[in-house]
Amino acid sequence: MDLKSPVIKEVKYNEYAFRELERQVKGDEKARELLLEYPTDYIIYSSDKDKDGNYDVYVGETNDIGRRTMQHLNDDSKERDDWEYLSKQSDASMFVIGHEHFNKSLTLDIENRMMLYLTSVDHVKKLNNRRFNNQNKYYTSEEMADLFSKIWRSLRKRKKDLFPIEQVIKDSAIFKASPFHSLTNEQHKARELILDKVKNSIRSNQTGQLIFVEGDAGSGKTVLLSSLFYTINTELVDGLGHRPRNYLLVNHDQQLTVYQQIAKKLDLDQYDRDVVSKPTHFINTHDEDDPVDVVLIDEAHLLWTQGKQSYQGKNQLSDILARAKVTIVIFDKHQSLTTEEYWKDDVIDKIRKDADNKHNLIKLNNQMRMDASPRTISWIRSLVYDKNVKPIPIDDRNYDLKIFDSPIELEKAIRKHDSDKENQKDGLSRLLATFDWEYKNNKNPDDGEYWEVKVDNWERPWNLQIKGDRNQRRKNKGLSWAEQTQTINEIGSTYTIQGFDLNYSGVIIGPSVKYRKGKIIFDPHESHNHKAIQNRTVDGKTKVNNADRFLQNELNVLLTRGVHGLYIYAVDDELRQALLDAQKNY
């Protein structure tokens, strides 16, 4: 369907806004009808008072823009700090958006999508809204995506720093972890079930209830968690009569930064600046005698099961359960990577069984990240865990899986995809590698400036080493590794890329992964991932080694990052040839 362009007008946000809007549409009967009589969406923004180029933004929708504007100025400004701030800004402006197909459901969906996008804009400091407006099917729902793109492009013509290129938005880590994504039926059912259990547990003043959410990489676990975090913070107060004490924990530096940015932009940290933190910090600052209401744990497979550094306990999950009425964990046994995260199989089985008996076990089965057919997903799983190199299947979704005979050609392909920011499937693309080359934090090698991944005469620095100039470092503050522009010249590891998406990933499988006698083998002697290959003492006496499992999981994480494509180069000659042979039928 060829949709007509939206009608958008910009006015100063003050008591004369509606009069100015009437003046701008005078003589244009269609525009007057769409903006003054139809449902509309609107965006109010003000440059930040410190003049650093950032904005405070409010997004809304209404059936009566005149009445709603005066309500915000006169009533809301007395009750809420965000409206009081906007009402006092002399430079505040308002976009009013109309379209001939707008109805209540469509404007709510556009509002929700606008929140999703603006949360991810670097120049948005605060984004204000108190609703979660995800809509189900309705008469014009199939028009929403195309219409929103038209609206966004029109707004971009007026203010580029507030409305960047869509693909730049979609490549950001905040976008991918935003609570404003539309949920699948599977995610929505899980969300409603969890919210009901949270409310019941808080009302009954229980402590230690565990809700166990599991799913493979890319099954939508992070989006579900982010949606729960936002909803519990903003909506559950009405059902409970008080604001829940709600915390989000993650044991991953890069993902922690993303959640902290979301909390800050959406003002979720206004009552406690530590609402997003690492597990150790939460445990050390909270007492069992005063349990909080809800703790959500992303990447719970990264929780420590032994004492380390400032953590003096034996199991972080046990300590968190003792400090919360409800603990919601996101768990994927195929993403634990180090001995300090080692869980005995029987322990995990017991946790899952106990949760299942209480109807607290939730499984996410749909593949949300990789735009690949089930046959391609199965091929990757078989490669990693069955240790078989099967013929690469034809992908009916056109997922781009390629085997390369040279790291040079692999790098060229990744750079080409990364440089095209306008193409919907291109953009954010990076090189990754198994941890088979030496790397030490805060120490330079004796023979050069960087720790490097080296294959024959080709070499590139490991991640987090190229800093750039002062201006570049300032721009990179708060960005995940892959989002920083200079990292196209680096090689990412599992420790920087876990939990994040790329449009195309180029994976160098190092010498720790070999192919012998028709099977893949994992060789810990070739790995420099010491946390994965060292022994672990269990039960205070027994030493166990799970290098095979952790190296498999490392490869699994790397091979499941690419949304639209996966490119592979294998250092081991026999493995590389087996993969090239597997590609012949592709």
CA of 175: how far to CAs of 145, 284, 460, 484, in Å?
16, 31, 29, 15
In this prediction, residue 586 carries a pLDDT of 59
SS3 471: helix
Cα dihedral 264/503/137/367 (nearest 10)? -100
The structure tokens listed for 283 are 């445990």
CB 19 within 8 A of CB 87: no
The structure tokens listed for 178 are 């935003």
Give dist(CA 56, CA 34) in Å, integer.
27
The phi, psi pair for 374, rounded to 5°, reads: -55, -30
Helical pair 547-559 and 374-381, crossing angle rounded to 10 deg: 150
Helix (H), strand (E) at residue 582: helix 573-583
Give dist(CA 420, CA 439) in Å, integer.
31
Degrees to nearest 5, angle at CA 231 with 227 and 232: 120
| Residue of 480, 371, 372, 377 whose CA lies nearest to 424 | 371
In this prediction, residue 369 carries a pLDDT of 86
The structure tokens listed for 459 are 């070499």
The phi, psi pair for 151, rounded to 5°, reads: -65, -45
Give dist(CA 544, CA 375) in Å, integer.
35
**Across-strand partners of 56?**
46, 126
CB 533 within 8 A of CB 527: yes
Place of tokens 């709600």: 246
Give dist(CA 393, CA 401) in Å, integer.
9
- For the chain (586 residues), the mean pLDDT of every run of 10, in chain order, is 83 95 96 96 82 87 95 86 83 95 92 95 87 56 89 96 92 93 93 94 89 91 95 83 91 94 93 95 96 96 88 93 96 89 86 94 90 95 98 95 98 94 80 97 87 97 89 80 94 94 97 98 96 81 86 97 97 98 84
* Alpha carbon 40 to chain centroid, angstroms: 30
Helices and strands, number each (H, E), in the chain: 23, 22
pTM, to two decimals = 0.89
In this prediction, residue 268 carries a pLDDT of 93
| Residue of 282, 242, 103, 109 whose CA lies nearest to 180 | 109
Q: Is 274 left (phi over 0), alpha (psi -120 to 50) or beta?
A: alpha
The structure tokens listed for 134 are 């995800």
